Structure 1
């Protein structure tokens, strides 16, 4: 288990802390759910009793609570141990398509702006990389936050299903 450190206000939105919160929520879910097979055939849909507390409504196409439980554990494993080979190969292929399309776009833009010096082009590419990084970092933090809420919600829902909804909340 990862060590939980207290967060300063500046660190609250760090990627490292977002990953730790998610891993902690999934670990809590995993420790609470002693009989995962009880989640089979339990639909994800639930009425939102407490607005803003997160619910599993957004993932109704994923199947039952058991499949979502497995998905959350799989994502935790990918964060802790790295992405599995088959998934990495598939993502790399998709990434190569993006790189090719990005290269062709930058080639066409560099042809049209051939007056730029190579140092200006490198500076522009570095700025573009920084923007891409910020975009993806923000997106990853948002996804991790939603997944953390989903893990917490699934844990709460399991407790309700087995009749211990009021304990340990």
Structure 2
């Protein structure tokens, strides 16, 4: 019987494939967006400039106050996607050696501070297979969403630059 060797990255449902798709989308975004500073103060899709600046009573209600984990504009979103890609490619150790905490590191540290909510026990006797599958499903979901966001940011940049809407 002949044994067939299958490349895991060729399976569209493999973690490696999902990771490669996100990194490719982030690289495409980075290559397309030649002047990232043009993204400053440009609201994300589905967010009006009024949501960022004021509410109906003219009180300042920044998106950061309403949703502290959200980016305020396309520039911050671009930096976040780029940072996550770099963390995936180089790991957290490189960031720790070179500078301050990355977005991913801050999220991990924040999660470590929070008590476990009981999705699964984290003691020595817990089922590692269940933990693995729980986190694998989460990783697939997050990487798929990040890939879509990088593609959307790239398309929007092309659309806006093509129409000259970023120029002030």
TM > 0.5? yes
More helix by share: 1
SS of residue in 2 equivalent to 1:62: coil
Are the aligned partners of 2:39 and 2:74 in contact in 1 as well (CA < 8 Å)? yes
Matches within 5 A, 1:1-150: 8=10, 11-46=11-46, 61-83=70-92, 84-85=95-96, 86=101, 88=105, 91=108, 94-95=111-112, 102=121, 125=125, 128-150=127-149
Q: Distance in 2 between matches of 1:71 and 1:17?
A: 21
1:69 Cα deviation from its structure 2 partner: 0.4
**Counterparts of 2:107 and 2:9 in 1: how far apart (Å)?**
35
List structure 1 segments (4+ residues) > 3 angstroms apart after TM superposition: 5-8, 86-90, 92-99
Q: Which has the larger radius of gyration?
A: 1
Question: 2:150: which partner in 1?
Answer: 151
Answer yes or no: is the 8 Å Cα contact 2:8–2:16 preserved in 1. Answer: no
Alignment gaps of 5+ in structure 2: 1-6, 48-68, 164-168
Q: TM-score, normalised by structure 2?
A: 0.63
Structure-2 separation of matches of 1:147 and 1:90: 16
Give the TM-score, by structure 1 length: 0.63
Cα deviation, 1:107-165, whole Å, max 9, x if unaligned, reads xxxxxxxxxxxxxxx8xx36x1100100100100110000000000000000111117x
Size of the aligned set, in residue pairs, is 127
SS for the counterpart of 1:16 is helix
Separation in 2 of the partners of 1:89 and 1:68? 16
- Larger relative contact order (CA 8 Å, sep ≥ 6): 1
2:65 is matched with none
2:166 alignment partner in structure 1: none
